[in-house]
Structures are given as C-alpha cells and as structure tokens.
Amino acid sequence: MTTTNLPTVQDLTTNVKTFFNNTFNKTVSFPASQIDITVAFFVKRGFDQTSANSIAIVLLNQARAERVDVFKLLDTFKSLTDIQLSQVVAQVVNASRDKTSLLGYRTATVDNTFEARNILI
C-alpha cells in the first residue's frame, strides 16, 4: 500500500441516494373515490394521464391542508374555461413547490409600433 498526500475520495453517490430516499419516504393516503374522480376530471379536461395524476395528488394535499372538500373544489372548477383552469392549476402547483422552481405562463403583449416611436418633423 502506498502513502499519498492527496485527500481521500468520498463516495458521493451513497449520500445522494440516502438524501433522496429520506426525502420521498412521506406517504399520503386518500380515499380511492376522491383520487379517481379528481384524476378523471383532469383527464376529461384534456390533461395527460400522468399530469392528471400529479395534479390530483397536489390538489388533494392542498385541499386537505386547507380543510376544503375536494368535491366542492372540483365543482367550482367546472365553471372555468380551459385557460382559467390551467392558470389555477399552475397557482396550486406553485404553492406546493419550492420557491426556487416555479411554473408559469406568459401572455403575449402586442405593441403598436406606430405609437411606440417618436417621429420628428
């Protein structure tokens, strides 16, 4: 065995695995009827199955945290247009995410180029 002045190399993969394994161990449980109806609502409104599952879990968690019945919440969502629903979903998902990672949407602004410039005569 040789002796060296170099620092020892630590295996960082085990630390990362342990960190992620400890982070995602939290289990939540909801009645199957609430999950099925919430997922079906978003699939019916044009969301992917995977997106609908993710949004349903976030929405159910948020409803539980605010002590709101999820069925009443879905009834209020029925009156929204697709664009309004997407905006509400983005706000609900952002509320449950870290502040360093947010979802957003952009509205296109139309500038009137005729009025945007000054013309000197």
Residue 12 lies in a domain: no
Max Cα separation, the chain? 87
Task: Write out the residue range of the structural domain in which residue 34 sits.
Answer: 27-96
**Domain for residue 5, yes or no?**
no
The verdict on residue 42 lying in a domain is: yes
The yes-or-no verdict on residue 19 having pLDDT over 50 is no
- Summary mean pLDDT of the chain: 76
Say how far residue 86 (Cα) sits from the centre of its chain.
11
Does some domain include residue 18?
no
**Number of folded domains that form the chain:** 1
Q: In angstroms, what CA-CA distances link 4 with 7, 8, 9, 10, 11?
A: 8, 9, 12, 16, 18
Please report whether residue 77 resides in a domain: yes
23 or 81, which is more confident? 81
Q: Quick check: is 9 in a domain?
A: no
* 102-119 tens-digit pLDDT: 666 666 666 666 655 666
